[in-house]
């Protein structure tokens, strides 16, 4: 990082003020250059995730002398980057995934965007990118969404996907933190995340009508203790592409990432971490008539997903809220959901399955919301061929179990502004 020179001795407090001033993005200085010709809208039935970009994007740049430039919303187009830029060489690349929804009142809404901003700041700090004030970034996102509101699909389950990104652009090959950066925001209208071949989805106005299949993998890991798995970094995704191809060749839609861990007596247990790029949940039947909702803990190997946090909050509220205002109204008010953020192993999953208590498994994330899991393939040690855990078949429209179905309905209702819940839906004024 650039350290300014001073004509006299200065205090650490004064230096911190200089650094803070450099980290401020001034949303009030936003420049807007609108496209002269607008692109034609794509029919919702033809939308594929991340394939169509809107008319405009937002861009700001950072250098250690001048700090952040005045942000600009301008027509979508290529960036000009030096071939030696850090983002190409050492991957200090951070991004977020957000969505905007059109409410019944005709207003565009974001879903819990403050959590996205907090995670983006945390991720940028992890790879030593220049600081920025996320409150200003959120203001810019709202402005861009307002400009691009015609791109927000109104069909149920569709949305405008938003990708804020910050990349290191220091033009030098030395192994060091990037003291230059480019911050930009892209928008893309989207329907369902998964398309056939497996898993396929019905019309974009409906929930998934088929389940996701997972191949449990331990030879390669998505993240490890002390690594970067708990941050939203570009470098976390590319190492999984080859493994995903192997899973697809075996007929599976996604990878269930396992992490070997030595347990009691020196036995190696396979801990479940994530499902593809989704947080993983299971629902297990209890002897007392309730249900255990289990997900791996945020131990540094798990991305702290916004949908994950929302699922946990809604499930906890269902048991504690009065029957007159349940958080998950499609579930019986008397159904007690017991929430557990704890390690989950393949041995436990196999035990739940063999005992008939494994009711549901689903993945959650910004892109998929809640995705039902139908089977998990696993190569048990000492056994020939894959052991397949078959999840119960639910007859709901989307293939989700009762808990997953209730969560999908509630979250989508909040996102689209049809349901008010604790200020989660934020209007883009």
CATH number at residue 122: 3.30.470.10
Burial-class residue 255 by CB neighbours within 10 Å (0-12, 13-18, 19+): buried
- Give the other-Cβ count within 10 Å of 303's Cβ: 24
Residues 109 and 139 occupy one common structural domain: yes
Lowest mean pLDDT among 40-54, 199-213, 244-258: 199-213
Q: Which of 58-67, 106-115, 127-136, 149-158 has the lowest mean pLDDT?
A: 149-158
- Angle at Cα 87 formed by Cα 82 and Cα 91, nearest 5°? 160
CA pair distance 359, 252, nearest whole angstrom: 20
Q: Is there a single domain that holds both residue 78 and residue 178?
A: yes
pLDDT per residue as tens digits for the range 361-406: 999 999 899 999 999 999 887 687 789 999 998 877 778 999 999 9
For the cut 70, the answer to whether the pLDDT of residue 133 exceeds it is yes
Stronger pLDDT, 4 or 123, i.e. the higher one? 123
Write out pLDDT tens, residues 265-297. 788 899 999 999 999 999 999 999 999 999 999
Q: Which domain holds residue 22?
A: 12-190
Does 207 map to a domain? no
E strand intervals along 76-229: 93-95, 98-102, 108-111, 159-168, 181-190, 212-217
Contacts of 32 (CB under 8 A, 6+ apart): 72, 73, 74, 147
Examine the pLDDT at 59 and tell me if it is beyond 70: yes
Average pLDDT over residues 246-272: 92
Q: pTM, whole model, 2 decimals?
A: 0.89
Write down the pLDDT at residue 397: 75
Distances (CA, A) of 90 to 118, 170, 235, 253: 23, 10, 9, 30
Q: Which of 103, 193, 194 is nearest to 145 (CA)?
A: 103
Any idea what the CATH number is for the domain that residue 273 is in? 3.20.10.10
* Co-location of 127 and 264 in the same domain: no
Residue 272 exposure: Cα atoms within 13 Å on the Cβ side: 31
Q: Kindly tell me if the per-residue pLDDT of 178 is higher than 70.
A: yes
Among 190, 221, 256, residue at a domain's last position? 190
Report yes or no on 6 lying in a domain.
no
- Number of domains observed in the structure of the chain: 2
| pLDDT for res 10 | 38
Asked whether residue 186 falls in the same domain as residue 227, the answer is no
Tokens 């949305």, located at residue:
159
Residues 54-82, mean pLDDT to the nearest whole number: 97
Confirm if 361 and 373 have CB atoms less than 8 A apart.
yes
Q: Where are the alpha helices (H) located in 231-390, listed in sequence order?
A: 241-249, 306-320, 346-355
- Residues 325-337 have pLDDT tens digits of 789 999 998 899 9
Query: Are 49 and 137 found together in one domain?
Result: yes
86 with 118, same domain: the answer is yes
Confidence at residue 385, expressed as pLDDT on a 0 to 100 scale: 79
Residue 376 lies in a domain: yes
Same-domain check for residues 217 and 169: no
pLDDT on residue 188: 97
Where are the alpha helices (H) located in 74-221, listed in sequence order?
86-89, 113-126, 134-147
**226 and 289 fall within a common domain:** yes
pLDDT above 80 for 2: no
> Minimal CA–CA distance to 45: which of 203, 154, 273?
203
How far CA 286 is from CA of 103, 216, 220, 358, in Å, comes to 38, 25, 33, 10
The answer on pLDDT for 18 being more than 50 is: no
Residues 110-114 have a mean pLDDT of 97
- Same domain? 395 vs 287: yes
**3, part of any domain:** no
Let me know how long the chain is.
429
Residues 256 and 153 reside in one and the same domain: no
Same domain flag for 56 and 175 = yes
Q: Do 162 and 270 share a domain, yes or no?
A: no
């Amino acid at each position: 990082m650039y350290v300014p020179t001073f004509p006299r001795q200065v205090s650490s407090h004064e230096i911190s003020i200089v650094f803070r001033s450099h980290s401020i993005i001034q949303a009030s200085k936003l420049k807007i250059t609108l496209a002269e010709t607008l692109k034609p809208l794509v029919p919702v039935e033809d939308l594929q995730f991340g394939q169509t970009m809107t008319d405009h994007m937002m861009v700001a740049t950072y250098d250690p002398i001048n700090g952040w430039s005045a942000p600009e919303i301008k027509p979508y187009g290529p960036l000009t980057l030096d071939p030696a830029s850090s983002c190409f060489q050492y991957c200090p690349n951070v991004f977020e995934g957000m969505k905007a929804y059109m409410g019944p009142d005709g207003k565009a809404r974001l879903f819990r965007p403050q959590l996205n901003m907090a995670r983006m700041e945390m991720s940028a700090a992890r790879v030593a990118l220049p600081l920025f004030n996320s409150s200003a970034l959120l203001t810019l996102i709202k402005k861009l969404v307002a400009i691009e509101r015609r791109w927000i699909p109104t069909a149920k389950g569709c949305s405008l996907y938003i990708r804020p990104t910050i990349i290191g652009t220091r033009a030098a090959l030395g192994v060091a933190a990037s003291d230059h950066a480019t911050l930009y925001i892209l928008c893309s209208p989207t329907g369902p995340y998964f398309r056939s071949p497996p898993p396929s989805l019905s019309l974009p106005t409906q929930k998934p009508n088929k389940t996701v299949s997972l191949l449990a993998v331990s030879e390669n890991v998505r993240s490890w203790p002390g690594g970067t798995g708990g941050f939203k970094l570009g470098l976390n995704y590319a190492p999984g592409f080859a493994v995903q191809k192997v899973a697809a060749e075996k007929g599976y839609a996604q990878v269930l990432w396992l992490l070997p861990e030595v347990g009691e007596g020196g036995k190696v247990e396979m801990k479940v971490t994530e499902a593809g790029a989704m947080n993983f949940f299971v629902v297990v039947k209890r002897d007392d008539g309730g249900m255990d909702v289990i997900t791996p803990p945020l131990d540094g190997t798990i991305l702290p997903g916004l949908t994950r946090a929302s699922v946990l909050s809604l499930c906890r509220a269902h048991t504690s809220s009065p029957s007159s205002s349940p958080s998950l109204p499609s579930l019986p008010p008397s159904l007690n959901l017991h929430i557990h953020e704890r390690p989950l192993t393949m041995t436990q999953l196999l035990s739940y399955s063999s005992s008939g208590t494994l009711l549901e498994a689903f993945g959650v994330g910004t892109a998929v919301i809640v995705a039902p899991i139908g089977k998990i393939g696993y190569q048990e040690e000492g056994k020939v061929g894959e052991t397949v855990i078959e999840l119960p078949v639910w007859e709901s429209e989307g293939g989700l179990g009762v808990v997953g179905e209730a969560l999908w309905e509630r979250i989508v209702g909040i996102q689209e502004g049809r349901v008010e819940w604790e200020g989660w839906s934020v209007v883009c004024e």
